[in-house]
Amino acid sequence: MSLSSLATLDSNPLFTARSRAFGTHLRPRQLSRPSNVVVCSVIPPSASALSVAQSACQGLSRIESLSQVSGVLGCQWGDEGKGKLVDILAQHFDIVARCQGGANAGHTIYNSEGKKFALHLVPSGILNDDTLCVIGNGVVVHLPGLFKEIDGLESSGVSCKGRILISDRAHLLFDFHQEVDGLRESELAKSFIGTTKRGIGPAYSSKVIRNGIRVCDLRHMDTFPQKLDLLLSDAASRFKGFNYSPDMLKEEVEKYKRYAERLEPFIADTVLVMNEAISDKKKILVEGGQATMLDIDFGTYPFVTSSSPSAGGICTGLGIAPRVVGDLVGVVKAYTTRVGSGPFPTEILGKGGDLLRFAGQEFGTTTGRPRRCGWLDIVALKYCCQINGFSSLNLTKLDVLSEFSEIQLGVSYKHADGTPVKSFPADLRLLEELKVEYEVLPGWNCDISSVRNYSDLPKAACRYVERVEELVGAPIHYIGVGPGRDALIFK
């Protein structure tokens, strides 16, 4: 795949779609950036142009070196900015595939004109005209939401026809799954999980207890009513607040007859599609939803999602062999956020957390709810790197830390008695009781959102990036300094 012809976008030649075959101690600054944040020294025009060209060349080199099947996965509790990197990399891949999760994954991306798109089920490669988007068997699909998303994209001039394939093995998520999700959360009362109430957990529950309905079942409307009746009856027997009647079944069946007709052009045996693409040397980029600290096995259980957003989910969610999976890029914010309940060792409470939240605009893409905020947790990040074997990292939202005169890194955990905790523990009680040891680094107190070359960053910002690399033992090749496509530094 040739990467030689690139046009200019926002004065950065890297980001144009191409045609191709397929805690504490805070001393925060005020948030009013125009009056309080100094703009870093301006580079002369000739030097600026050279800097952009150098960054573009380095970026192309990074992207060209990625393996045939690469992946982008989250390193924290989600919301790290995976969608933006996938959108940028997708310009150089034939296929972008989702392997797990559902509409609880909210990926915000911007097109070349700066228009914002909030995607939930459709892979983030959709803005690149020649990219095929695959929704794999490991995803749970809410058809009303999917069609709403497709309609929104089409109305914004983004063509989806012939560009989205949905696995015939993917399980369907129904409206009643969302209702059950809310009833389940109400039952848990003070120990609620804090789900998005999009029905993800109940849909995966149906799958695991083997009474779920798959996309391929929509091709057999003679048996579909019986299968749906079994699902609805099971929910009614389990939850007193769930009211089920024959009229509900009839209404749902009629609705899904229409959905089945509309969905038919999108349905494919994506296991065959993916493996044929691998044989044909097509480049495939896997987009993870949620993140490793929300993994059903490796996350802060039970305050987790219901799928495997770590590396193992790629193979089971797409039907491809482990040996074909190559480079994995881990996406991590320059600080840490999470939503819902559950342990959060480096959380900043009070005004400090509020400052970080508003500086980073930390409100959910899917729900709009405020995210809990804290310093970067190195222990959790190292744990995620061990599980996934990342070849490199994408550090996002470095620009947000410009608001702070001091920045802290949570570098180690200790028991209450002072003895070290060697890794990220499974025991929630231990997580709640442990003490975090912090390393304090100086801030840079200037706006870096216009910087496009690593050498142009303030020394303090470079020191922060390099200290994270030292502590984690993984290289940071991509640095986000803003939401736009071009706001990316290649290191």
Active site residues: 79, 107, 207
Is residue 108 a known part of a binding site? yes
Is the separation of the CB atoms in 438 and 375 below 8 Å?
A: yes
Convert 114-148 into a string of H (helix), E (strand) and C (coil).
Answer: CCEEEECCCCHHHHCCCCEEEECCCEEECHHHHHH
Helix (H), strand (E) counts: the chain:
14, 22
The answer to whether the annotation marks 136 as part of a ligand binding site is: no
Annotated binding residue 10: no
> How many C-beta atoms lie closer than 10 Å to residue 11's C-beta?
10
| Residue 74 assigned ligand-binding role | no
Determine if residue 441 is labeled as part of a ligand binding site.
Answer: no
Interior angle at CA 362, CA 128 and CA 144, nearest 5? 55
Does 365 show up as a binding residue in the annotation? yes
Q: Which of 43, 57, 84 is nearest to 479 (CA)?
A: 84
81 labeled part of a ligand binding site: yes
DSSP string, 45-65: HHHHHHHHHHHHHHHHHHHHT
In sign, the C-alpha dihedral spanning 221, 224, 229, 231 is negative
On whether 27 is known to bind a ligand per the annotation, the reply is no
- Confirm whether residue 382 is marked as ligand binding: no
Q: 398 labelled as ligand-binding?
A: yes
105 is in an annotated binding site: yes
**Residue 482 among known ligand-binding residues:** yes
d(CA 322, CA 320) in angstroms, rounded, equals 7
Alpha carbon distances (Å) from 302 to 192, 292, 471: 10, 14, 28
- Residue 238 tokens read as 């389990």
The answer to whether the annotation marks 481 as part of a ligand binding site is: yes
Distance set, CA 200 to CA 5, 195, 369, 482 (Å): 42, 9, 18, 30
The CA-to-CA distance between both ends of the chain, in Å, stands at 23
Annotation-wise, does 78 bind a ligand? yes
Distance CA 320, CA 326 (A): 12
247 is in an annotated binding site: no
Q: Is 196 annotated as a binding residue?
A: yes
Q: Does the annotation place 467 within a ligand binding site?
A: no
Question: Do the annotations mark residue 312 as ligand-binding?
Answer: no
* 182 has binding-site annotation: no
Is 129 flagged in the annotation as binding?
A: no
Phi and psi angles of residue 291, each rounded to the nearest 5 degrees, phi first = -165, 170
Q: What phi, psi does 180 have (nearest 5°)? A: -65, -35
408 is in an annotated binding site: no
| Lookup: tokens for 451 | 């910087």
Q: Please check if 80 is assigned to a binding site.
A: yes
Any binding-site annotation on 106?
Answer: yes
Beta pairing partners, 29: none
305 is in an annotated binding site: yes
Instruction: Look at strands 95-98 and 132-135 and give their pairing.
Output: parallel
Determine contact, residues 85/478, Cβ cutoff 8 Å: yes
Give the pairing of strands 376-377 and 406-414.
parallel
Closest CA to 408 of 374, 383, 381, 379: 374
**Amino acid (one-letter) located at 421:** V
Q: Is 227 annotated as a binding residue?
A: no
User: Is 168 annotated among the ligand-binding residues?
Assistant: no
- E-strand ranges in 77-221 read 95-98, 107-110, 116-119, 132-135, 140-141, 164-167, 171-172
Locate 177 and state its tokens: 């799954």
Q: Binding residue per annotation — 366?
A: yes
Q: Which residues are known binding-site members for substrate? A: 365-371
Q: Which residues are known binding-site members for IMP? A: 79-82, 104-107, 196, 210, 290, 305, 369
Q: Which residues are known binding-site members for GTP? A: 78-84, 106-108, 371, 397-399, 480-482
Q: Which residues are known binding-site members? A: 78-84, 104-108, 196, 210, 290, 305, 365-371, 397-399, 480-482
Q: Which residues are known binding-site members for Mg(2+)? A: 79, 106
